[in-house]
A and B are shown apart, each in its own frame.
Chain A
């Protein structure tokens, strides 16, 4: 049921002093409202218990970002747009910038505030894991004065906080000592903008002497409060990142999280994804230089090279010339995610014969030579990558290899082209099973399935390519 506006009072005193005076006079009666992206949603649903609201929107005292040598102090009334536009947030706190980008669409970023996100204490808020790993502190203000406390202690339970009834969140302070760290943020949701996360991760780390010197990991949406994974961090710290460590880390994550079953996802799914996100972070950390965006050098050189050079350079990632030309025409590309997004777009804009050209640049699965009869052979890099992708096949049993060869032949008779599968990480029996399943597809379904597999192969190769 929608609320009746006549039941509500709202005032806008216009100064911080007037607001904390009001909160002191009638503690717990007045509820602050900033950009309304949370309060107005409750109101629309008839679920806003408060009847008296005090507007803190656009209050100058709350909408400042102050930078000192030690820290950045962000006023609680700063919007996500303010955060996205701030130079120091962008350069030193990329996890917070990513969270600001992922929170809502543009209109909600223009009105939603970091303070609202903190005080509303939703375990799904994208910015909160970032604040945890950056060791943030909060400044709370009341007529009694200011107090400063670690953000990590602020949430005491589902939507419960240490904020006293006469207090207002004034600012959040982030120490400027993490700019050398490798950072990783990822949101898993139905879509990027506007969707509330099923699980999100914010993590920082740096390597030294081949081991993890420091690591800080936090997750959203897996517990009643945003969760810092201190035990997982302890297990990882001081160790080299290998498959054994990844397993230990995954188990530690699974032990720690009390996942939530709700409309957006199930506990089981969240627990599995949480483990994957931590493993993905550690994998990336192990292959990256702290502070440097992956593949910046490769991409910058490629953006600046001639059309012919750039086409030749990127062709090993996907054997379609039209794809390579399309990619080159869309330069400059800013980073890895722009590269992958542009590749996906280009791939889906191609004709069927372009797709065929890409398919033919691969060796038949289980063989080492490309299937194309054309005299022009694929680039050496492509052949080497094919060998890596099909690594598990090389060691497979002879009987399985023969079964695969038979199924390949059947596929080629039926669809008139070679079977394309993204083999990375798949065992031979798995591939055989996939091949047998896909033999039952009709022509159109199978074309799209093959196209999707090629798209995945291209994406993996683009990421390898960036590593130089």
Chain B
């Protein structure tokens, strides 16, 4: 019974994820977050609050930071999505991932992928941010472990790898 209803409302949606072209059959209101985690097994993107308050599920969609729990997958059609899995080049970590490791910017790890993508988004628009700009750029991402200092420090480290070493 539910099968026929399910297939009735499902549509075919194509978009690019971490450089790879993907096509899924999904209900248009399915959350981008669930498609990434369940259909593509990209479980780096985390669900925290599920209502856009915590930033754990943040990904880049056409270069802009979005909370994937608030994106119905139909609205991702044709877009270019980047998740935490798309940042490293093979075995070489992204400079922000390295900086988070060095500075202890991750503890339990739930907020980390969203936090790093928020930082990537910030540095794409503002390559040399002030402390205040870093704080503002990360203000939509909540962390319950670190107290934020190490995270902010990690972003500073990524910006000035030598001077703050």
Contacts and interface: CB of A to CB of B under 8 A. Distances in A.
A9 interface: yes
Contact of B140 (A3, A55, A57, A194): A194
Contacts of B71: 36, 40, 111
A6 B6 contact: yes
Given A36-B70, A36-B72, A41 B140 contact: no
Q: Which of B6, B29, B71, B142: most chain A CB closer than 10 A?
A: B29
B136 interface: yes
Contacts of A445: none
A192 to B, nearest CB: 7
A435 B121 CA distance: 49
Contacts of A111: 66-67, 70-71
B139 interface: yes
Contact of A106 (B5, B53, B65, B75): B65
Most B Cβ at <10 Å: residue of A11, A35, A341: A35
A37 interface: yes
A5 B38 CA distance: 14
A40 B72 contact: yes
Contacts of A300: none
| Residue from A58, A105, A107 having most chain B Cβ neighbours under 10 A | A107
B157 interface: no
A255 to B, nearest CB: 35
Interface in B70-121: 70-72, 74-75, 77, 118, 121
Contacts of A107: 52, 55, 58, 65-67, 118, 140
B44 interface: no
B69 interface: yes
B9 interface: yes
A58 to B, nearest CB: 8
A44 B51 contact: yes
Nearest to A196: B53
A397 B39 CA distance: 78
Contacts of B118: 105-107
Contacts of B27: 5-6, 8
B28 A40 contact: no
A40 B65 contact: no
Interface in A6-33: 6, 8-12, 33
A87 B31 CA distance: 34
Contacts of B64: 81, 110
B114 to A, nearest CB: 8
Contacts of B45: none
B75 A105 contact: no
Interface residues of B, number: 38
A43 B137 CA distance: 27
B116 to A, nearest CB: 13
Nearest to A3: B29
A105 B139 contact: yes
B74 to A, nearest CB: 5
Contacts of A3: 29
Contact of A10 (B29, B55, B131): B29
A265 interface: no
A58 B52 CA distance: 19
A119 to B, nearest CB: 17
A3 B28 CA distance: 13
A104 B136 CA distance: 11
Interface string A83-105: 00000000000000000000011
B49 to A, nearest CB: 9
B97 to A, nearest CB: 19
Contacts of A341: 132
Given A44-B69, A341-B132, A36 B75 contact: yes
Contacts of B58: 107
A298 interface: no
B125 to A, nearest CB: 10
A108 interface: yes
A57 B75 contact: yes
Given A43-B29, A106-B65, A10 B72 contact: yes
A28 B65 CA distance: 32
Contacts of B139: 105-106, 192-194
B82 to A, nearest CB: 14
A10 B136 CA distance: 34
User: Could you say which of A6, A11, A105 has the most chain B C-beta atoms within 10 Å of its C-beta?
Assistant: A105
Most buried by A among B66, B75, B132: B75
B29 to A, nearest CB: 4
A170 to B, nearest CB: 20
Contact of B31 (A33, A40, A53, A57): A40
Interface in A304-359: 338, 341, 345
8 contacts: A2-B50, A6-B5, A37-B52, A55-B74, A55-B75, A104-B52, A107-B65, A345-B131
Given A10-B72, A81-B64, A111-B67, 17 more contacts: A3-B29, A5-B28, A6-B6, A6-B27, A10-B74, A11-B28, A12-B77, A35-B70, A40-B71, A43-B29, A105-B141, A106-B137, A108-B140, A110-B65, A111-B70, A194-B53, A345-B131
Interface of A: 2-3, 5-6, 8-12, 33, 35-37, 40-41, 43-45, 53, 55, 57-58, 81, 104-108, 110-111, 192-194, 338, 341, 345
